């Protein structure tokens, strides 16, 4: 008998909606400076994505300080202040349970830079050069 709640595709609409609410709540707390920590007050922190577990009890926030400086110090400061952040998120987002928070370094900028470097490489430029534009489908 197949499991009824098996998740083989991406996140559900509910997971996405809750993740976005938590992302906004975290961004608001950090932008207002409600957390008194030197590492957090010295940096502007972006939160491009939050992912929720299927049971909505764990939120993984992907963070990046503006400019990419002191990433480790910022993540350590967020982990250190996790309890206060969780309380603030619970106060701002109306959920049955306040999710546990995890903070991870956002690697999408690194991935984008890697893809950009690949596209600018000589090997790829040769394949996409002017002679590649003379394909028979252009007619």
Domain map of the chain by residue range? 13-106
pTM equals 0.73
Chain-centroid distance of CA 27 in Å reads 12
pLDDT at 22: 96
How does pLDDT run across 31-87, given as a tens digit for each residue?
A: 888 888 888 888 888 999 999 999 999 999 999 888 777 888 899 999 999 999 999
Pairing state between β 58-65 and 100-105 = parallel
pLDDT grade for 124, boundaries at 50, 70 and 90: confident
Q: What is the four-CA torsion angle of 59, 60, 65, 67, rounded to 10 degrees?
A: -140
Angle between helix axes 13-32 and 82-92 (nearest 10 degrees) is 120
Q: Which residues pair with 77 in a beta bridge?
A: none
Is the pLDDT score of 94 beyond 80? Answer: yes
How does pLDDT run across 96-123, given as a tens digit for each residue?
A: 888 999 999 988 777 777 888 888 888 7
pLDDT grade for 4, boundaries at 50, 70 and 90: low
Q: Which residue has the higher pLDDT, 108 or 89?
A: 89
pLDDT at 2: 52
- What is the CATH code of the structural domain delimited by 13-106? 3.30.300.20
pLDDT at 132: 46
pLDDT grade for 1, boundaries at 50, 70 and 90: very low
């Amino acid at each position: 008998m197949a499991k009824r709640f098996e998740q083989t595709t991406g996140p559900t609409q509910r997971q996405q909606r809750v993740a976005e609410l938590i992302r906004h709540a975290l961004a608001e707390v950090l932008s207002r400076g409600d957390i008194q920590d030197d590492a957090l007050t010295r940096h502007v922190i972006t939160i491009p994505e939050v992912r929720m577990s299927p049971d909505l009890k764990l939120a993984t926030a992907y963070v990046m300080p503006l400019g990419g400086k002191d990433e480790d110090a910022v993540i350590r400061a967020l982990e250190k202040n996790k309890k206060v952040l969780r309380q603030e998120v619970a106060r701002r987002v109306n959920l049955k349970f306040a999710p546990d928070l995890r903070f991870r370094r956002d690697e999408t900028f690194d991935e984008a830079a890697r893809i950009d470097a690949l596209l600018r490489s000589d090997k790829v430029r040769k394949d996409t050069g002017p002679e590649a534009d003379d394909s028979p489908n252009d007619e």
